[in-house]
Amino acid sequence: MPLAVTHVLLTIILLDLFRDYIIKKKRLIPLHFIFIGGIAGLIPDIDIPIFWLLNLFKLNITWFHGTFTHLFLIPIAILAASLITYRYNKKAGILLGIISFGYGFHIFLDFLFYGCNISPFWPIITHNFNGLSHYLNIPGLEQGLDAFILLAWLWHEEVRHKISDFI
Ligand SMILES: [Zn+2]
């Protein structure tokens, strides 16, 4: 998996860019929705602390990270819930849509970088795939990516929102 910072930051950045440049209505997507979207970008890796917890109780379970929580079925179900909810409560529908994006984007990033042992497209496509890391051999790629994304975002925020005024 790309590191946690990449998952959270990249999700927040894409949502922020979408809000700033595409919909251009900040009231439709308040800042705390973007924050929640960033957290949703980390939820699929909940299988890691679950594994630790199960092992704490000496259940001798084999490493299952990147399997059942990394299926596109989950964000698709959240998106469906978002579309239904939107009819009755616009704000809640938008929030669910953002959570669906964050969750799905995490799976996309993991798949792009590392491929998979269990297909994220299950049950439609079930065979394994290799990710970019199988073809590229760049030591420290994940850490470099984290640093690059953070710096690019800070630069954007400085140019667009003058964040240094708040420091
Ligand atoms: Zn993951």
DSSP state of 116: B
**Which sequence spans correspond to the domains of the chain?**
4-166
- Give the Å distance between the CA of 84 and the centre of ligand 1: 27
- Give the Å distance between the CA of 97 and the centre of ligand 1: 19
How confident is the model over 128-145, as a mean pLDDT?
A: 79
- Give the Å distance between the CA of 86 and the centre of ligand 1: 28
3-class secondary structure, 37: helix
pLDDT in tens, 22-61: 988 888 899 899 999 999 999 999 989 988 988 888 777 8
Q: Is 64 or 11 the better-scoring residue by pLDDT?
A: 11
Specify whether the backbone of 29 is left (phi greater than 0), alpha (psi in -120 to 50) or beta: beta
Q: How far apart are CA 113 and CA 137, in angstroms?
A: 12
- Give the Å distance between the CA of 48 and the centre of ligand 1: 9
Q: Tell me the average pLDDT of the chain.
A: 87
Q: Is 62 or 79 the better-scoring residue by pLDDT?
A: 79
- Give the Å distance between the CA of 115 and the centre of ligand 1: 11
Confidence check: pLDDT of 2 > 70: no
pTM: 0.84
- Give the Å distance between the CA of 42 and the centre of ligand 1: 7
Confidence check: pLDDT of 15 > 80: yes
Instruction: Report CA-CA distances (Å) from 108 to 8, 28, 62, 163.
Output: 13, 25, 24, 30
Q: How many angstroms separate the first and last alpha carbons of the chain?
A: 33
- Give the Å distance between the CA of 72 and the centre of ligand 1: 12
